[in-house]
Amino acid sequence: MNPARLPCLERAGLEAWMVRLFDRIDENNLPWLAALAGECETEFGDTLVDLVPSYTTLLVVFDPFRMTPCDARQKLMTILARLEPADAGARGKQHSLPTWYDPRTGPDLQRVAELSGLSVNAVIDAHSVREYRVFALGFAPGFAFMGLLDSALTCPRLDTPRQQVPAGSVAIAGQQTAAYPAATPGGWNLIGRTPTRLFDRDRDGFSLLQVGDRVRFVPVDQATFEARGGDTTAVSQPGPERAR
């Protein structure tokens, strides 16, 4: 592995190691993380229980009844010693998510505009013009953390989260963007909504979006949004639930 990316192995319980490859979010991390995940699948075989990728790390969960933590660590060190990045274009599907950007579905559009010094239309343009990579899945089933945002749109989470955010809500926080796959509490800035179903138990893999995928948010009008099954339910006001 490239010496500039020396890994750090951290114990994560009796049956897992956290492999920390990087210390900052960057799209260039993905080929390395993808390669590490692929090598772990091959080398650990049926002793592997789960792999949980994130922006800079990979959690490797193994069967503690079939492999000791020491053996798992040694196997990871062997993998890391020869690791090379995967072909950046070889993994990940492309997705287009139709999105209705409107104060009714995106009540924080004006807040983002004020924080960024842009007009609402400029915020929509800046968000929809980019292609985002899925860096991690978490928080809720099918919730994909995507980035990186245009630096002008970077803004903090709400001080007080909403008790319920409608499914499909498109949101931003920090350098990240996401679309809520189900109605949950949430503290991200809501700027629109997509009618696309992001999590389906009848779908192979359940989640539409997977780590490494490429995503574009495509602006549509209300008529198109509703014709595709979009929900125009009003967004609740922020409440006491904890933000995510």
- Residue-averaged pLDDT of the chain: 89
Note the pLDDT of residue 30: 85
Report the percentage of the chain scoring pLDDT > 70. 92
Q: Which residues contact 243 (CB under 8 A, 6 or more apart)?
A: 157, 158, 160, 161, 185, 186, 187, 188
CA neighbor of 241 nearest in space, from 167, 161, 172? 161
CA angle, 184 then 189 then 195, to 5°: 60
> Which range is most confident: 36-50, 80-94, 133-147, 230-244?
36-50
For residues 202 and 78, the model is more confident at: 78
Q: Which region among 51-60, 116-125, 154-163 has the lowest average model confidence (pLDDT)?
A: 51-60
**Tokens 């000791």, located at residue:** 68
Q: Which residues pair with 176 in a beta bridge?
A: 173
Indicate the CATH number of 3-82 among 3.10.580.10, 3.50.30.10, 3.90.226.10, 3.30.1360.40.
3.30.1360.40
Q: What are phi and psi of 142, to 5 degrees?
A: 85, 0
Note the pLDDT of residue 129: 97
5 has pLDDT over 60: no
CATH architecture for the domain at 94-227? Beta Barrel (2.40)
pTM, full prediction: 0.78
140 has pLDDT over 60: yes
Note the pLDDT of residue 190: 97
243 has pLDDT over 90: no
For residues 86 and 88, the model is more confident at: 86
239 has pLDDT over 50: no
How sure is the predictor about 238, in pLDDT bands with cuts at 50, 70 and 90?
low
How do strand 94-99 and strand 214-219 relate by DSSP bridges? parallel
Q: How far apart are CA 163 and CA 185, in angstroms?
A: 5
Q: Is residue 242 helix, strand or coil?
A: coil
Q: How far apart are CA 62 and CA 14, in angstroms?
A: 9
Cβ atoms of residues 199 and 181 within 8 Å: yes
Report the percentage of the chain scoring pLDDT > 90. 68
Q: For the residues 166-173, what does the mean pLDDT come to?
A: 96
Note the pLDDT of residue 88: 57
**Tokens 């239309």, located at residue:** 121
Q: How far apart are CA 159 and CA 243, in angstroms?
A: 8
Domains of the chain, by residue range, sit at: 3-82, 94-227
